[in-house]
Amino acid sequence: MSERTRFIKIAEAVAVDRETLTDTFGRFTFGPLARGWGWTMGTVLRRAMLSSVEGSAPTQLRIDGVIHEFSTIDGVLEDVPFIVLNVKKLRFKLEGADFEYAHLHAEKPREYTGADLELPANLKLVNTDALILTLSAKDRPVHIEIKVERGRGYENQESVKKRSPGEPVGTIFLDAFYSPVRQVKIDVVNVRYGERTDYEQIAFEVATDGSVTPEETLAQTAELLKSHVEALSKIVDPRAGLAESGEAEETAWDEVLIESLDVPQTVKKALADHGIKTVAELISNTEEEIKEWGDIKPRSFSTLRSRLEGMGAEFAKQPTEEETKEGSEDEA
Nearest to 253 by CA among 312, 322, 329, 192: 312
- Give me the pLDDT at residue 137, please: 86
Q: In this structure, are 166 and 277 located in the same domain? A: no
205 within domain boundaries: yes
Handedness of CA 234, 238, 240, 322 (dihedral sign): negative
Number of domains in the chain: 3
Cis peptide before 214 (omega within 30 of 0): no
For residues 258 and 267, what is the distance between their CA atoms, to the nearest angstrom? 9
Q: In this structure, are 35 and 118 located in the same domain? A: no
For residues 300 and 297, what is the distance between their CA atoms, to the nearest angstrom? 5
Q: In this structure, are 48 and 58 located in the same domain? A: no
Helix/strand/coil for 220: helix
Q: In this structure, are 170 and 198 located in the same domain? A: no
137 within domain boundaries: yes
CATH code assigned at 218: 3.30.1360.10
Q: In this structure, are 91 and 123 located in the same domain? A: yes
For residues 56 and 91, what is the distance between their CA atoms, to the nearest angstrom? 7
326 within domain boundaries: no
Q: In this structure, are 17 and 164 located in the same domain? A: no
State the 10-residue block means of pLDDT for the chain, 332 residues long: 56 88 94 89 93 93 89 90 95 90 94 95 94 90 94 92 88 94 94 83 94 93 89 66 50 76 84 86 86 83 83 77 55 50
74 within domain boundaries: yes
129 within domain boundaries: yes
Question: Could you tell me which residues are beta bridge partners of residue 172?
Answer: 61
Q: Which domain holds residue 94?
A: 54-177
For residues 213 and 219, what is the distance between their CA atoms, to the nearest angstrom? 10
Q: In this structure, are 285 and 194 located in the same domain? A: no
Q: How far is CA 218 from CA 16, 187, 201, 230, 293, in A?
A: 11, 16, 16, 18, 61
Q: In this structure, are 139 and 77 located in the same domain? A: yes
For residues 313 and 243, what is the distance between their CA atoms, to the nearest angstrom? 10
- Give me the pLDDT at residue 1, please: 47
Q: In this structure, are 170 and 22 located in the same domain? A: no
CATH code assigned at 262: 1.10.150.20
29 within domain boundaries: yes
Q: In this structure, are 154 and 255 located in the same domain? A: no
DSSP characters for 58-119?
A: EEEEEETT--SSS---TTBSS-HHHHHHHHHT--EEE-SSSEEEEEEEE-SSEEEEGGG-B-
- Give me the pLDDT at residue 212, please: 93
CATH code assigned at 140: 2.170.120.12
For residues 101 and 11, what is the distance between their CA atoms, to the nearest angstrom? 44
Exposure string over 95-117, b if 16+ CB within 10 A, otherwise e: eeeeebebebebeeeeebbbeeb
Q: In this structure, are 60 and 138 located in the same domain? A: yes
Residues 6+ apart with CB under 8 A from 306: none
Contact 28, 204 (CB under 8 A): yes
Q: In this structure, are 19 and 102 located in the same domain? A: no
- Give me the pLDDT at residue 299, please: 84
Domain boundary among 134, 150, 177: 177
317 within domain boundaries: no
145 within domain boundaries: yes
